[in-house]
Chains A and B, each alone.
Chain A
Amino acid sequence: MLRFESLVALRHLRHGRGQTLLTVAAVAVGVTVIIFISSLIYGILGHVTGQLTDMLPHVMVRARERTPAAAPPRGGPAPGGGAFFARVERQNEQQKRLENWRHAADVIRAVPRVEAVAPAVTGQAIARRGGRRLGVQVFGADPAALDRVTPVTRYLSSGYYQGLGAEEVVLSYEAAEELGVAAGDRVRLASDEGAAATFRVVGIYDLGQEQYLAYVTLRAGQSLFGTRNAVDSLLVRTDDLYGADAVADRLAALLPGLEPDPWTRRFPEFVSSLGGYKATALLVSGFSLVASGFAIASVLIVSVVQKSRQIGILKSLGATRPQILTIFLLEGLGIAVVGGVAGALLGAAVVHGLGYFRQAPRHPGVPAEPLFPSDLSAALVGAAVASAIAATMIAALLPARRASGLDPVEVMR
């Protein structure tokens, strides 16, 4: 036979049938909503973040920019009694190149949380194909190294990037469309520095963003932008997107002449909007919890009112206040656990089912993206169930305390 408190709680729940089912359903729906909404919000968040940051170096290390000092303002009395001020405007900043980049790359690789470093030469160029001209952003980097920092290969819709030759280029889908080129066609790139070369298109890269990009080898980039053996940046990937700031600070301390720039400083609006999304997810989950908590509390309070005479009887038989309190808390726990597990299963099933809905592919050859990007993790399910159980127990505490404090003489009268 079960212990007294467990036995009475179990019988209450079993005997309550419809009422018990209703309360369990309230918890289950609450947990389902929490899992569904949270996984959807975090899924969308992850999808958007992935799209925006996958091709973003977490930290970009450059030489400290040359910033010519502005001349002090000059002024004096103007003819006629007025005053005049003149100021020398700052000159356009120029990007200093990294000559000794191999040493800097070694230092960066040794920093904890750094996963990969890719030396790169970047710059603007004009791409020409027949009569068409298009301004493109050129990335000159070793494909093996760059793939580890920004995975170009992952987003190739055709062709290859690994094994890129000195006279080969990978173009973004949009650039290829604008230029009207396909794999095997030739395209001429001319940089602002006046250098130009012809490349054969060997791959089309498609991230789904309106970007005109061209990936060439490091050597080709260096030739195109006249940097000789130098590069203009070291692109760094860390093991945690949101840990980039800390790594950048560490690099700044280790490499005083260089300027590590984390992605968060380059896109502050995006970072703050991520915070907004997360806060929304938390709010929605919190409201679901509170709503189901109230439902549970109201049903348990009704149960206490219905059971008040029974509580009086149990007290007359010698049941103590803690025993009565335990009975009603166990009832709450039973409802919470059954409702929580049912809600977790239902929520996981709903989220899993939504994964089957896909968008129409953007372009032929590109895999269809999910219509409802979701991120269902064991941690999320566990947190939803745990918080539902906690909310239920808090909701059960009030009626349980009320039950334990009932005067047996009053309720049995």
Chain B
Amino acid sequence: MTPPLRVAPANAVASACVQAAADVDPVVETSGLEKVYQGKVTVPVLRGVDLRVLPGEFVAVMGQSGSGKSTLLNILGCLDRPTGGTVRICGADTSRLDDTQLAHLRSETIGFVFQAHFLLEEFTCLENALMPVLIRHRRVRAEDRARVLALLRRVGIDDQRDKTPDTMSGGQNQRCALVRALANEPRLILADEPTGNLDSRSGAEVFALLREVSRETGVAVVMVTHDDRLARAADRILRIEDGQIQEIELAESDGAAGIRIRQ
């Protein structure tokens, strides 16, 4: 049975992974990150988020609906701009980049996996998986094709390569989306509830693949999830509440197997 999550005292022990990699340049680094939605009512969503994600880390982000998880992910993915604070992706200050430079940064360093697979219906599985390569290089080189084919084999859908998304199962489509996210050998994968639309078995398989691929390739992963069990398998768990982020540590030493929050 999955142990329940509980709040732990501040200044808990950081993960060994984080400590070991303390001197490594972070893939993601935010400082005082703020996002306010201006409308009839001003809604502050993120209020001073400081976050560092190191290469190879697998970070789960949890929180209530509307707490700003997806907003954080969109800002980290350079799809949205913060209203305050700074974001550095692989050392690049995103506030200094124009739209085209942000698009190039996305193309070269970030892979997305969404709750819906968002594959393009006009393209085959292989073509969808190659799409980021095509966008980045305008054409597909032999080595790109070989790499993507190997990834399709790795996630077990190489026999689906010529099928279109509407003829594949939900799990297969999401695996294809995972390969697409990895196609350009990114340094960061942003996954927004990647198993949210799948049944529990397919969801577990896709998550396991994401976790394994992360370990194998050293890519950092920031995954938004509502699923405690998936979060438990991450290196770190972050909770967004009232626009601020708290780090939760799974308390292995605790007999109740609870979690602690690092402030």
Contacts and interface: CB of A to CB of B under 8 A. Distances in A.
Nearest to B116: A412
Interface in B1-55: none
Interface string B171-185: 000000000100010
B107 interface: yes
Contacts of A314: 120, 131, 135
Given A313-B120, A318-B103, A319-B103, A1 B135 contact: no
B122 A316 contact: no
Interface string B65-103: 000000000100101100000000000000000011001
Given A317-B131, A317-B132, A321-B99, A412 B118 contact: yes
A328 to B, nearest CB: 15
B140 A1 contact: yes
A315 B107 CA distance: 9
Given A3-B138, A323-B135, A316 B77 contact: yes
Nearest to A321: B99
A316 B106 contact: yes
A318 B107 contact: yes
B122 A15 contact: yes
A10 to B, nearest CB: 9
Nearest to A404: B99
A320 interface: yes
Interface string B122-133: 110000000110
B112 interface: yes
A310 B132 CA distance: 13
Contact of A319 (B80, B112, B123, B135): B135
A184 interface: no
A187 B104 CA distance: 94
Nearest to A3: B138
Contacts of B207: none
B138 A316 contact: no
Contacts of A14: 122
Nearest to A313: B118
Contacts of B134: 1, 4, 7
A320 B140 contact: no
Contact of A318 (B106, B118, B121): B106
A322 B100 contact: yes
Nearest to A14: B122
Interface string A300-320: 000000000110011111111
A409 B80 CA distance: 7
Nearest to B134: A4
A154 interface: no
B138 A4 contact: yes
B122 A11 contact: yes
Given A1-B140, A4-B138, A15-B122, A316 B100 contact: no
Interface in A1-35: 1, 3-5, 7, 11-12, 14-15
B139 interface: yes
A317 B112 contact: yes
Contacts of A322: 100
Contacts of A409: 74, 79-80
A310 B114 CA distance: 13
Nearest to A11: B122
A151 interface: no
A408 interface: yes
A409 B135 CA distance: 19
Nearest to B111: A317
A320 B103 contact: yes
B241 interface: no
Q: Quick one: which of B74, B103, B118, B121 has the most chain A CB within 10 A?
A: B103
19 contacts: A1-B140, A3-B139, A7-B134, A14-B122, A15-B122, A310-B120, A313-B120, A316-B79, A317-B107, A318-B104, A318-B106, A318-B107, A318-B108, A318-B132, A320-B100, A321-B100, A322-B100, A323-B135, A412-B114
